[in-house]
Amino acid sequence: MAGRLHPILTVAFAALILLFTGGPVLLSLYGSLVPDRILLSPDKSIITEGPNFETYRYVFTGQLPESYQQESANRAMISDAARQVPRALVNSSIYALAAMVLNLILGAPAAFVFARYVFPGKKISFMYLILSPLVPAVALVTPIYMMLQFLGLVGTQLGIILVHTAKALPFTVLILSVFFRKIPAEIFEAAVLDHCSRFQTFWRIALPLALPSVAATGLFAFMISYSEYMFAMILSGDTRTRPVSVVMTALARNTDVSWSLLNTGIFIAIVPTLVLVVFVWRFVVEGLLSGAVKG
Amino acid sequence: MQIRKLLAAAAVALGLAAQPALAQNLTLEFVVWNYSLETIQDNVRLFEEANPGIKVNITDYAWPDYHDSLILRIRSKTPTDVVYGGQDWLPAWAAAGFIAPLDSVAPAGAIEELSADIAGFALTDVTYDGKVYGLPYYSDTISFIYNKKILKDAGIAVPATWEEVTAAAEQLKAGGMDKPIIYEYNQELPNFYDAFVAQSYGRGAELFDAELNPLFADPENGAYKQLEWIADAYAKGLVQSDNHESTIITAMNTGKHAFTIVFTYVLAALNDAATQPLAGQFALAPMPGEKHSTLGFAKSYVVTATTAADPVRAEAAWKFVNFMAGKPYTVAKRWAVEKGLGFAQLPLFEDQDVITAWGKWADVGALGAQASIAKAGTYTEFSSIWSAYFRPLLAQAMVGEAPVDRVMKDGAQRWTELKEKFASR
Write the pLDDT tens digit of every residue in A94-149. 999 999 999 999 999 999 999 999 999 999 999 999 899 899 988 999 999 999 99
Taking residue A185's Cβ as centre, other Cβ atoms within 10 Å add up to 9
Q: What span, in angstroms and rounded, lies between the C-alpha atoms of B339 and B346? A: 18
**Which of B27, B32, B34 to probe the A interface (max A CBs under 10 A)?**
B34
A77 to B275: CB separation less than 8 angstroms, yes or no: yes
A253 to B63: CB separation less than 8 angstroms, yes or no: yes
A249 to B62: CB separation less than 8 angstroms, yes or no: yes
Q: Would an 8 Å CB–CB cutoff place A40 in contact with chain B?
A: yes
Looking at the DSSP bridge assignments, the partners of residue B33 are B61
Name A62's Cβ contacts closer than 8 Å, sequence gap at least 6. A80, A83
Show residues of chain A in contact with B78, CB under 8 Å. 149, 154
pLDDT at B381 over 70: yes
Q: Find the mean pLDDT for residues A42-47.
A: 83
More confident residue, B296 or B272: B296
pLDDT at B236 over 80: yes
Q: Find the mean pLDDT for residues A65-86.
A: 73
pLDDT at B306 over 60: yes
B59-72 pLDDT, tens digit per residue, is 988 887 899 899 99
Q: Would an 8 Å CB–CB cutoff place A147 in contact with chain B?
A: no
pLDDT confidence bin for B24, thresholds 50/70/90: low
Give the per-residue pLDDT at B74: 93
Name A267's Cβ contacts closer than 8 Å, sequence gap at least 6. A25, A28, A29, A32
**List of E strands, A4-118:** none
Identify the closest residue of chain A to B278 by CA–CA distance.
Answer: A37
B167-225 pLDDT, tens digit per residue, is 999 999 999 999 999 999 999 888 899 999 999 999 999 999 999 999 999 999 999 99
Give the per-residue pLDDT at B369: 86
- Share above pLDDT 70 across residues of chain B, in percent, rounded to a whole number: 94
Q: Would an 8 Å CB–CB cutoff place A151 in contact with chain B?
A: no
Give the per-residue pLDDT at A119: 92
- How many residue pairs from chains A and B have C-beta atoms closer than 8 A? 123
Contact at 8 Å (CB) between B133 and B101? yes
Please choose, from the candidates A140, A147, A110, the residue with its C-alpha nearest in 3D space to the C-alpha of residue A125: A110
pLDDT confidence bin for B6, thresholds 50/70/90: very low
Give the per-residue pLDDT at A46: 87
Please choose, from the candidates B250, B15, B253, the residue with its C-alpha nearest in 3D space to the C-alpha of residue B150: B253
pLDDT at B138 over 80: yes
Show residues of chain A in contact with B273, CB under 8 Å. 37, 67, 70-73
Identify the closest residue of chain B to A231 by CA–CA distance.
Answer: B69
Question: Of A36-45, A193-202, B277-286, B331-340, which range is least confident?
Answer: A36-45
B328-346 pLDDT, tens digit per residue, is 999 999 999 888 888 999 8
Identify the closest residue of chain B to A233 by CA–CA distance.
Answer: B61
Identify the closest residue of chain A to B74 by CA–CA distance.
Answer: A146
CA distance A50 to chain B (A): 16
pLDDT confidence bin for B16, thresholds 50/70/90: very low
Give the per-residue pLDDT at B380: 94
Confidence (pTM): 0.81
CA distance B188 to chain A (A): 13
pLDDT confidence bin for B19, thresholds 50/70/90: very low
B78 to A254: CB separation less than 8 angstroms, yes or no: no
**Which of A32, A34, A37, A52 to probe the B interface (max B CBs under 10 A)?**
A37
Q: Would an 8 Å CB–CB cutoff place A50 in contact with chain B?
A: no
- Interface pTM (ipTM) of the complex? 0.75
Contact at 8 Å (CB) between B102 and B300? no
Which of A38, A74, A79 is opposite residue B272, by nearest beta carbon?
A: A74
Show residues of chain A in contact with B279, CB under 8 Å. 37, 72
Looking at the DSSP bridge assignments, the partners of residue B285 are B144
Show residues of chain B in contact with A153, CB under 8 Å. none
Name B215's Cβ contacts closer than 8 Å, sequence gap at least 6. B205, B206, B207, B208, B209, B221, B223
B360 to A142: CB separation less than 8 angstroms, yes or no: no
Which of B36, B277, B340 is opposite residue A37, by nearest beta carbon?
A: B277
Please choose, from the candidates A281, A287, A268, A284, the residue with its C-alpha nearest in 3D space to the C-alpha of residue A92: A268
B68-120 pLDDT, tens digit per residue, is 899 999 998 999 999 999 999 999 999 999 999 999 999 999 999 999 999 99
Please choose, from the candidates A47, A53, A32, the residue with its C-alpha nearest in 3D space to the C-alpha of residue A258: A32
Q: What span, in angstroms and rounded, lies between the C-alpha atoms of A17 and A278? A: 17
A71 to B38: CB separation less than 8 angstroms, yes or no: no
Which of B59, B76, B254 is opposite residue A40, by nearest beta carbon?
A: B254
Give the per-residue pLDDT at A289: 61
